[in-house]
Amino acid sequence: MKTLSSVFKRITSFRLFLPLLCLALVLIVNLIQTPSFFEITIQNGVFYGFIIDILNLSSRLIIMAVGMTLVVASSGGTDISVGAVSALAGAVCVAVLGTGESYQMPYYVSILLALLIGVICGAMNGFLVSYMKVQPMVATLILLTAGRGIAQLVTGSFILYVKPAEFGYLGAFLPGVPIPTPCFVAIFVVLVTWLILKKTAFGMYIESIGINRKASRLVGLNSKLIMFLTYVFCGVCAACAGLISVSRTSSIDANNVGKYAELDAILAVAIGGNSLAGGKFSLMGSVIGAITIQALTTTLYAMHVSADQLPLYKAVVVIIIVALQSPVLIKWVRSFTGNFLPAKVAKEAN
């Protein structure tokens, strides 16, 4: 019995236990609802299946969630402008390429311009939050409302289309490669971010100012600059997600690209077990949270839930998932399970 108890404690003390449990529950429901859910086939030289769709469609959200994680950890606030920033970056990319049979300028230049838009938007948000000490939600609300308006000005309030087939490679498949391109982009962003956080002191600095900004400043950390950089990085992530969105459809609709993406990005951070009050964070937790949200969406569509009803069902399930990770609920469960839950989790619950 003691052995089972110690094994259970060791498993539940794993930081990603609850996010992985939530993802597993969603996948199990999928398996029950659709027995062929985990089947992967090859059609026209590329992989097809529900799992491939989830990984493909969640890639954009994973990239946004990575940027949102650092913003939340450093400032204890959220960037609610990421959806509008992705729309603006996508609009700039499509507008400079033109709608003719060939590009007006090199494709890589349009990508650099779109990423530059992300840097500018992130810098604007970061300046307001870190140097002007504006509340994060209020500061990013400016671009939430104005970003799409600027995107409409860039596109002339039209839906613009890009004709060259090569434009769709970023959002679909590269010739001869069976795995969706967005998956590679998401892996690249996560890997680069992880290397920066783990191989430098930047990750520790972010957690430090998130836990106690004043104490961090007293020990010599430039908390304003660090916070500013996290918002810039979040803007770049949003722009990258916008490039994937417009590439998937080879068009830009400024009203719909990135719509409500900020809400899913925040939910991914929360489902990943990260505190929205800032401080310590888990990058992989946010990645798992993003995949969980997309798996949930795919599940509801497989259950023939209409697009209009989707937000309601999605909200109910998300509430359940977040509640499972609540320290209060963990404390209540511990009162009935004795010492099975780890002391670390119980301490956080208190």
Task: pLDDT band for 301, please (50, 70, 90 cuts).
Answer: confident
277's tokens: 């009050």
pLDDT confidence bin for 201, thresholds 50/70/90: very high
Average pLDDT, integer, range 306-332:
76
Measured between alpha carbons, how far is residue 126 from residues 18, 75, 115, 179, 225 in Å? 31, 10, 16, 35, 9
Distance from C-alpha of 273 to C-alpha of 268, rounded to nearest angstrom: 9
- The residues facing 160 across adjacent strands are 252
Which residue has 């609009």 as its token pair?
91
State the pLDDT confidence band at 5, using cuts at 50, 70 and 90: low
Cβ-contact 273, 325 below 8 angstroms = yes
Give the three-state DSSP class for 252: strand
Q: b or e along 141-156 (b: 16 or more beta carbons within 10 Å of the residue's beta carbon)?
A: ebbbeebbebbbebbe
Q: What distance in Å separates the CA atoms of residue 99 and residue 80, rounded to the nearest whole number? A: 31
C-alpha 114/C-alpha 105 separation (Å) is: 13
Q: Which pLDDT score is estimated for 346?
A: 47
Contacts of 309 (CB under 8 A, 6+ apart): none
Query: What average pLDDT is seen over the chain?
Result: 88
Closest CA to 268 of 51, 44, 85, 65: 65
Q: What percent of the chain has pLDDT over 90?
A: 61
pLDDT given for residue 349 in this prediction: 47
Structure confidence by residue, pLDDT tens digits, 134-169: 999 999 999 999 999 999 999 999 999 999 999 999
What 3-state class would DSSP assign to 325?
A: coil
224-237 pLDDT, tens digit per residue, is 999 999 999 999 99
pLDDT, average across residues 205-222: 90
- In angstroms, the Cα distances linking 238 to 56, 178, 233 are 17, 26, 9
pLDDT at 12: 65
Measured CA angle at 66 (ends 193, 244), to 5 deg? 100
What does the pLDDT read at residue 337?
57
Greater confidence, 350 or 192?
Answer: 192
- Percent of the chain beyond pLDDT 70? 90
Which residue has better confidence, 185 or 215?
Answer: 185
Angstrom distance (rounded) from CA 186 to CA 232:
18
Is 70 exceeded by the pLDDT of residue 344? no
Between CA 323 and CA 6 the distance in angstroms is 25
Query: Where does 232-337 show beta strands of DSSP type E?
Result: 251-252
* Contact criterion met (CB below 8 Å) for 334 and 349: yes
How confident is the model at residue 7, as a pLDDT? Answer: 66
The answer to whether the beta carbons of residues 239 and 261 sit under 8 Å apart is no
Taking the C-alpha atoms of residue 261 and residue 81, their distance in angstroms, rounded to an integer, is 9
pLDDT for 340 beyond 70: no
Q: How sure is the predictor about 116, in pLDDT bands with cuts at 50, 70 and 90?
A: very high
- Closest among 253, 268, 208, 215 to 79, alpha carbons compared: 268
Question: Would you kindly state where each structural domain of the chain is located, as residue ranges?
Answer: 17-33+48-341
DSSP helix/strand/coil, 97: helix
Which CA distances in Å does 257 have to 107, 207, 238, 274? 20, 32, 11, 26
The secondary structure of residue 130, as a DSSP letter, is I
Instruction: Categorise residue 303: left if φ over 0, alpha if ψ from -120 to 50, beta otherwise.
Output: alpha
Would you place residue 74 in the very low, low, confident or very high pLDDT band (cuts 50, 70, 90)?
very high
Per-residue pLDDT reduced to its tens digit, 6-39: 666 676 667 788 888 888 888 888 888 778 888 8
Token duo for residue 212: 């106690």
pLDDT for the residue numbered 345 = 47
Query: Measured on CA atoms in the order 174, 178, 182, 185, is the torsion positive or negative?
Result: negative
**Could you report the per-residue pLDDT of 253-300, keeping only the tens digit for each?**
999 999 889 989 999 998 888 888 888 899 999 999 999 999 988 888
